[in-house]
Amino acid sequence: MGRLDDNTIHNLLFVNRGIPGELTGELLRRVNYEILKTKPKPNYTIIIEGTNDLGWGIPIEEIFSNIKELHEISREFDITSIGATIPPIVTETSSPSYNRKKVELNKLLVEFFNKNSILFADLYSGMMDKNGNLKSERAIYDGLHFSVEGYKQMGTVIFQDALEKILEVNIDKLKRE
């Protein structure tokens, strides 16, 4: 297997098209435009959605359907999508009904990712503390959005769970050519 070096990692380009507070349905309405205006066309898209929807009480079936559609749109544009489970919040375990819905939705997402051979980052497990909540130092004052430390951890989880595999496969392909 190939080995990643600092130069490879340094030359990666990431473009963030996320909007704080956005719901999955809102992203669906703008995703085609976002893909078309991004030049050069991305090879990969990382889809991290659902936290806001859960907070607004949107049914998990609708959230799941929207997230699946986002992955399908990526495929239609010949872009490899990378999925993610929905990360915890600081007060995750203090609201059993909210947590139950998130766990159920994350289970549906993992099944979908596995069934469709979509690499994914398990942000739910990778961001939580020993009690099942988002570690407080990884969140800003609202307990929901990530701090700098939270974004660093999110990046680490995404890299370890998905990006590293993609980079290693591509390095191996280049060595065989």
pLDDT tens digits for range 26-42: 999 998 888 878 888 88
Assigned domain for 142 exists: yes
Is the separation of the CB atoms in 67 and 61 below 8 Å? no
DSSP 82: E
Q: What confidence tens digit (pLDDT) does each residue in 44-66 have? A: 889 999 999 999 999 999 999 99
Contacts of 35 (CB under 8 A, 6+ apart): 41, 42, 45, 73, 74, 77, 79
Q: What confidence tens digit (pLDDT) does each residue in 74-87 have? A: 999 999 999 999 99
Count of domains observed in the chain: 1
Q: What confidence tens digit (pLDDT) does each residue in 115-158 have? A: 999 999 999 999 999 999 999 999 999 888 899 999 999 999 99
Full domain range(s) for residue 87? 6-176
Q: What is the CATH number of the domain that holds 166?
A: 3.40.50.1110
CA dihedral (110, 38, 15, 112) in degrees, to 10, reads 0
Q: How confident is residue 1, by pLDDT bands cut at 50, 70 and 90?
A: very low
Assigned domain for 1 exists: no
Q: Determine the Cα–Cα distance for residues 53 and 47; give it in Å rounded to an integer.
A: 14
